[in-house]
Structure 1
């Protein structure tokens, strides 16, 4: 299993997403247990955001990580575009740090592009970094033209990552965004890496090739999808799960080594993009 280098750290390529977590009191203990199972089995990256449950996901994460060595974890949170100004970003960041009960974030992301100039946001992020409140910063849901613009700005080259939707059914970024990020040596953080909840996800269990690959590797289809997502050693996948069994399965996906033949079979049913496509969102 090859770790992925991000912001000067080498981390386990499977992380944990927390969207839609922390909101239901009757599921709280189950969600805590699932995340802890992941951490106990090597996971380092936990991804959250001020938007998730209006801070409830961050509070869940704070409770979950209490028994763990903070320095071994890699905590990510995200600021809303409307809060990404010089004036408001420090306030949002401070609120996230309080909810997470930590002194710093390993990575702080702009959740998506808004009306505040990205130059101003970068200045605010750099200020937070100089104060030791964040170790690094990046962006989320930005496309090629946005990344190009960032690279022309002062400190733009310090952008550590771009977090976007990416899975076997959403391969559009492979046409231009992934090659660009590879050239910049910027790792990708992939959300919705198995897309369980949408039409693509619901049809997966019927896909003959995926069934065959799962049998060949003595795994399930969702593990094949995760193994595919992290196949290049430059991607961190952040599936979300409140189920301890699914969490262990997610972690074990790193053990699957897809062959060239496997990848060609997958390309035959879910082909690489041959032209520019709109960025897939949520």
Structure 2
């Protein structure tokens, strides 16, 4: 998959570790006396794209986030941004279901400041698998997680306390999220101690539940129109996602 250049709108991606001199190749032109010593740019192209640089700068690979999950997340984020569906384009959240439930597989990235805000445990649906999530569904009462791109909605207080509504953006893949009651909420079964004891954390009815001690901070940061991507190297999803196919066709 080719790297794409992020669309820079009013926000500027902060990559302090890149020196300006690394962005351009320069040479000295010596054609005639008048032009002798003139510096002329011959390649006006970044050595590394903003998206690739951010992945490296945050050491996301060392934290377990797969490069493929990150690349696909950037594709969908950019697509939703261009379509005007993101009311807050500062934040990109990724759930990497290629990782086991005992590993911190929720990544919340501030795209404006270039910072990783949260790296947390997150649950998958009880019928999606035990420690690894391998089976996904968009069907009500399936008690499985749904992959793909979501736009976060508003918060409310429900059965699980402070929770966050999620709007699925992919027809046939996760568009039933609202009907199914797929939300982000706190759960005491999402904790490292339980994971170590039984080999997997507790599972939900399909919701991406997060630890009790972090849920308010995470939900408050990603609410109201940010991009959330739930990833798995699932062949069925990757071939069915129109968001990803649109970008591949454009490339």
Give the TM-score normalised by structure 1.
0.24
> Which protein is richer in strand relative to its size?
2
- Give 1 or 2 for the bigger CA radius of gyration: 2
Structure (1 or 2) with the greater helix fraction: 1
Provide TM-score, normalisation by structure 2: 0.25
